[in-house]
Structure 1
Amino acid sequence: MNKDLTLLIMAAGMGSRFGGLKQIEPMGPNGEFLIDYSIYDAINAGFNKVVFIIKEENYDIFKETIGKRVEDKIKTEYVFQDINNVPDGYSVPKDRVKPLGTAHAIYCAKDNIHEPFAIINADDFYGKDAYKVASNFLKNVDNDNSYCLVGYKVSNTLTENGAVKRGVCNVENGNLTELIESSVEKIDGKIIAKPLNGKDSFEVTEDTFVSMNMLCFTPSIFKYIEEGFPRFFEENKDDLLTGEYLIPDVVEKLTIKGIVSTKVLPTTAKWIGVTYKEDKEKVVESIKKLVEANEYPNKLWK
């Protein structure tokens, strides 16, 4: 029996950089959103279940737009990222508004996913090849502690409109050894990564691999995220209004300790996304070109 191949889409972020629910910005020729292309590519790569992580107040708008279009194409489930959904003995300040971060988002889906799965951001276009890479890994994974990160060449992930957040990968023999969350920008012809932890900036080459938050896990990740909550609450005890529990940190710690191995699997895909309002025009143009090249149908969902 074929096991389910699940795509977990993290869509609870508030789109603060771009204003409003940026996942719901039409980008395709017939009002398609970037998330539509993600699901289309995932289905074609063999995924047969999608789980959306959203904020409860966005449920109706999400279901009426994206849900309505894809529910008859793929098994669809919704999970609310509730900041009170934390292990017993912990709590978040009542006046916190911001979601608790990507690791917490994944934790919220623990009752919906019992099979290997991939995660993506809702507001990034990852490209066909990336889903094939992820699908191939998930179909063949045979060890609960074997994960993978789909690695993009950094030069395929930049915008002309400013810095972008990327996880810069250090890789040895195809395996991740370090993941440096950084603000990355092309300055005077050089690609400069400025680590978010305040360490010194460094130059990276065009073919350095970065993470776009497309990662593949087995369900063991839920246990590891849960085990990491005490540390998160301790490290952020003075910053529980805004501190975030992030999946790259979890993956890096597990990998460095040797608890899991994380393969970095390269993709030839080029990222498309809206980090800044000014990016939208270019994204619309990029999708138009892909449609004209018959990479996608003009009307995505028949």
Structure 2
Amino acid sequence: MKIIIVNKDHAQARSFTLGGWTRAFLSVCLLGIPTFVGAWGYSWLVSDERDGFFNTDTKAWMDILSARESEIEQEREASEAQIAALTSKMGELQARLMRLDALGEKLTSAANLEQGEFDFSQVPALGGPSKASPDTLYATPDFFAAIDQLSQQVDSREQQLNTIEALLTNRSLQQETLVSGAPVANAWVSSRYGYRKDPFTGKTEFHSGIDFTARKGSKVSTVAAGIVNWSGRHPEYGNMVEIKHGDGLVTRYAHNTSNLVKAGDVVKKGQVIALSGSTGRSTAPHVHFEVYKNGRVVDPASYIRRTNR
């Protein structure tokens, strides 16, 4: 092999003749060095050192992303917990408001308020200009603080309505236990309380009650709530019911065709306790009504004229 070297001015030229061994050495250098470099590069690429070189930054970024994902998951769980708590609180407030509406309807009916004065089925009418500044007009509300405030208002209204209910219940109880009115409807008084001519002997004797003339089988109702003291047959009163009320008062209903209650029964005001008749010492169907105060018989007229207050 002959090699010719020419200078940059092309003025001179030199030639070299390479022998067989020289050509072999150059071939080995030209071909062996790239092969060696390629083999070393490949081994470096697949070695742990390459992983360490490339993975240092990658692992750091992966750690950052993993930490961020963990934070996002925690925030998501916290948000879901807050939403669940908010939903539960709203459900509780809704149930309490429904109970307050029912209580309001009950109190409205019990207080005999005019229809439409308090309509608990409608949303309360609200309105008026806003006093908030433009900066705070559209401020994001703190929902939990708003719900807590609403809950406190519901508590306050509930206490007020419960107090009103207790007062009305007490008033209703007083009306129930108040001895007032007549024991039979659409009847007229045939004999008053006091001295009179006895219908059987013609002698002047004391009449301890008031007689109401009534058709046989008319409904006899109690004039107040109480407990049945006695219900049975008496030789002079015939079929009689005796009821014990509060405040030392006892009422009797006599000469009944039949008694509809028994001793120990709790009766309400206006409850039918017997059917009128003419049993015992009686000349015709009527209701004999007596009132006792602390064990002494009194004139029933003052109680019959009583009105509920």
Structures share fold, TM-score greater than 0.5? no
Which is bigger in relative contact order (C-alpha 8 A, separation at least 6)? Answer: 1
- Would you tell me which structure has more helix in proportion to its own residues? 2
Provide the TM-score with structure 1 as the length reference: 0.18
